[in-house]
């Protein structure tokens, strides 16, 4: 795994997943899978609803490499990744993602309900999963919602979602914590067959871009959320 992701570098304590299309240790143009640079595990094109069973990759559903912004995941047309390795369990977690949404409507950007659990991270409005309304993430039935109004299209947003026994925290572009409604504690289990860019049923898939993605088995501090944002902001012109 590369040790430098810009200046400053991202936090590495408790890091369990790091993927970045701009790093050849993760993927290259033409690849139909990518490598978790922490563990060496594979992420493949999401297919079906494997639960805790073996996942059969759909190579056509894996996001393409795009050379923009130094290398990004391109989900054009709706695509999704499946984490083919066991990433959990953990009692606290943090997810950091660079996101670019280019179309309206229902789209997931992460979902981990692989074992009948309730963890997901998406956008929620009017009882539908939707980027344009509220940002909602859910841990074992406890939903934490951020009322952001309409999220803008066609621009980069860095999101850090933190959850642990004391509740959930959200940072956007390194700023926060944001005010959450129905703040819920977490009993996190990333588990097997965690999904990125798609629902666990391989539906309502992401159509925009994603930059570097980092998962942690601990809660990042406000300073660390800011550090991770600063590590790549110049790359994405934010």
pLDDT of residue 169: 80
Look at the domain 15-47+56-232 and name its fold: Jelly Rolls (2.60.120)
CB atoms within 10 A of CB 54: 9
- In the DSSP assignment, the letter for residue 62 is S
The predicted pLDDT at position 229 comes to 97
Ranked by mean pLDDT, which of 20-24, 152-156, 196-200 comes out on top?
20-24
62-102 tens-digit pLDDT? 999 999 999 999 999 999 999 999 987 777 888 899 999 88
Question: What are all long-range contacts of 31-37, with beta carbons under 8 Å and residues at least 24 apart?
Answer: 31/62, 31/65, 32/57, 32/59, 32/60, 32/62, 33/57, 33/59, 33/62, 34/62, 34/73, 34/81, 36/83, 36/85, 37/1, 37/2
Whether pTM > 0.85 for this model: the answer is yes
> Residue 231: which H helix or E strand, with range?
helix 222-232
The whole-chain average pLDDT of the chain stands at: 81
Taking only the tens place, the pLDDT of each residue in 12-52 is 999 999 999 999 999 999 999 999 999 999 999 999 988 77
Residue that wins the pLDDT comparison between 147 and 106: 106
CB 117 within 8 A of CB 186: no
- For residue 80, what is the enclosing H or E element? none
pLDDT at residue 216 greater than cutoff 50: yes
pLDDT recorded at residue 33: 98
Position 5 scores a pLDDT of 45
Q: Is-contact 141 117, C-beta < 8 A?
A: no
Higher local confidence (pLDDT), 113 or 98 = 98
């Amino acid at each position: 795994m590369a040790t430098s992701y810009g200046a400053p570098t991202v936090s590495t304590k408790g890091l369990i997943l790091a993927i970045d299309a701009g790093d050849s240790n993760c993927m290259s143009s033409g690849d139909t899978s990518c490598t978790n640079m922490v563990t060496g595990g594979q992420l493949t094109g999401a297919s079906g609803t494997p639960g805790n069973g073996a996942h059969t990759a759909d190579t056509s559903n894996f996001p393409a490499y795009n050379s923009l912004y130094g290398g990004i995941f391109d989900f054009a047309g709706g695509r999704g990744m499946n984490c083919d390795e066991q990433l959990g369990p953990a009692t606290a977690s943090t997810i950091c993602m660079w996101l670019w949404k280019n179309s309206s409507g229902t789209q997931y950007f992460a979902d981990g309900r692989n074992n009948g659990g309730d963890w997901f991270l998406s956008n929620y409005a009017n009882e539908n999963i939707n980027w344009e309304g509220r940002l909602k993430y859910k841990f074992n039935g406890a939903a934490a919602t951020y009322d952001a109004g309409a999220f803008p299209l066609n621009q980069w947003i860095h999101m850090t979602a933190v959850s642990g026994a004391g509740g959930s925290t959200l940072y956007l572009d390194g700023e926060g914590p944001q005010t959450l409604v129905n703040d819920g504690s977490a009993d996190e289990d990333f588990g097997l067959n965690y999904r990125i860019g798609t629902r666990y049923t391989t539906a309502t898939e992401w159509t925009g871009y994603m930059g570097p993605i980092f998962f942690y088995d601990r809660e990042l501090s406000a300073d660390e959320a800011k550090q991770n944002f600063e590590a790549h902001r110049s790359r994405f012109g934010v």
